[in-house]
């Protein structure tokens, strides 16, 4: 784990809600610290509370017990410093790539010259200069997701929160996007907290992989990924990669046997 200071702390978070008159505990006593610049992947079975935890960090929901803190300050609601990237892209269909990326700075009243510089920088970062004036319906799924990531970064997000961002992509595009996301994170040094159901994807991307138990969700195991960066797809056949992937997979096999 990085020696950088913690940008995010989750302290004793429990989340309960009522469904059809029955109280459900989605999360129980979750503790987590994420260092500035760290890439953390969160994996777990469907319904274990991963997305709920991410929404608490984003400020879309509040914990029933405990709290999420950013730079030591309680998260009370959504904020541009915590940007969310969803599986369904969430782009504005009536805006071009350039306009989608510049939407946040424009909404904050930044000068036009600064907005254009920001748009240019992130269009270049995601490699879509030829598509700067294209609309979302004219883009592939991978292109749309790159724009969604750039839009969050252009809005000065310090933490990028990603909920299964590549789940709707085909396998080849998903692999390319993993390489691209790793490059973007390396170049921007942003902190990333990403949810995925793919163990290989988590090991490929992360500095740490956090495994959540079945509901009520809690951090059941933490795996440090010590593979060198930058990582190309060749690492998928590296013995260290294969061994760690198998170790994490066995963790889920044990959960299934216990269940």
What is the overall mean pLDDT for the chain?
91
Strand partners, 73: 70
> Which residues does 8 contact at the CB level (< 8 Å), separation at least 6?
32, 33, 34, 57, 68, 69, 70, 159, 191, 193
Confidence tier at 259 by pLDDT (50, 70, 90): very low
Percent of the chain with pLDDT strictly greater than 70: 97
**If residue 69 lies in a helix (H) or strand (E), which one and from where to where?**
strand 65-70
- Displacement of CA 169 from its chain's centroid (Å): 16
Task: 204-207: list long-range contacts, CB under 8 Å, 24+ apart.
Answer: 204/178, 204/231, 204/235, 204/236, 204/241, 205/39, 205/41, 205/178, 205/181, 206/39, 206/40, 206/41, 207/1, 207/2, 207/38, 207/39, 207/40
- C-alpha–C-alpha distance, residues 64 and 185, integer Å: 32
H-assigned helices in 1-140: 50-58, 97-107, 112-125
- The per-residue pLDDT for range 117-153, each reduced to its tens digit, is 999 999 999 999 999 999 999 999 999 999 999 999 9
Confidence tier at 3 by pLDDT (50, 70, 90): low
Question: In Å, how far are 100, 119, 157, 220 from 133, measured between CA atoms?
Answer: 10, 11, 24, 46
> pTM for the whole thing?
0.90
The confidence score (pLDDT) of residue 5 equals 81
∠ CA 83-86-87 to the nearest 5 degrees?
A: 155
Length of the chain: 259
Sign of CA dihedral 92, 94, 99, 105: negative
Task: Name the strands in the sheet holding 73-74, side by side, starting at the edge strand that comes first in the sequence.
Answer: 22-35, 6-19, 65-70, 73-74
Place of tokens 């006593």: 29
The confidence score (pLDDT) of residue 254 equals 54
Sign of CA dihedral 145, 162, 224, 253: negative
Whether the Cβ atoms of residue 72 and residue 64 lie closer than 8 Å to each other = no
Domains of the chain, by residue range, sit at 1-80+191-259
- The per-residue pLDDT for range 32-76, each reduced to its tens digit, is 999 999 999 999 888 888 999 999 999 999 999 999 999 999 999
Count of CA atoms in the C-beta half-sphere (13 A) of 252? 16
Strand partners, 43: 211
- The CATH code of domain 1-80+191-259 reads 3.40.50.300
């Amino acid at each position: 784990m990085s020696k950088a200071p913690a940008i995010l702390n989750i302290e004793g978070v429990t989340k309960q809600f009522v469904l059809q008159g029955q109280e459900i505990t989605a999360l129980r006593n979750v503790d987590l610290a994420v260092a500035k610049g760290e890439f953390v992947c969160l994996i777990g079975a469907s319904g274990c509370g991963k997305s709920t935890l991410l929404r608490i960090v984003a400020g879309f929901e509040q914990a029933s017990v405990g709290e999420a803190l950013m730079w030591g300050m309680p998260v009370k609601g959504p904020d541009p410093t915590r940007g969310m990237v969803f599986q369904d892209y969430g782009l504005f269909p009536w805006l071009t790539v350039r306009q989608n990326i510049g939407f946040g700075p424009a909404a904050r009243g930044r000068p036009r010259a600064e907005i254009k510089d920001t748009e240019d920088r992130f269009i270049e970062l995601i490699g879509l200069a030829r598509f700067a004036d294209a609309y979302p319906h004219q883009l592939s799924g991978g292109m749309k997701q790159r724009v969604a990531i750039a839009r969050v970064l252009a809005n000065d997000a310090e933490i990028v929160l990603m909920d299964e961002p590549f789940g709707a992509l085909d396998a080849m595009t998903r692999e390319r996007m993993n390489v691209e996301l790793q490059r973007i994170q390396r170049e921007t040094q942003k902190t990333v907290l990403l949810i995925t159901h793919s163990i290989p994807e988590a090991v490929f991307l992360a500095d740490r992989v956090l495994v959540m138990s079945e509901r009520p969700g809690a951090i059941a195991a933490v795996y440090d990924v010590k593979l060198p960066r930058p990582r190309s797809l060749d690492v998928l056949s590296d013995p260290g990669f294969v061994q760690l992937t198998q170790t994490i997979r066995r963790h889920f096999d044990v959960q299934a046997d216990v269940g």
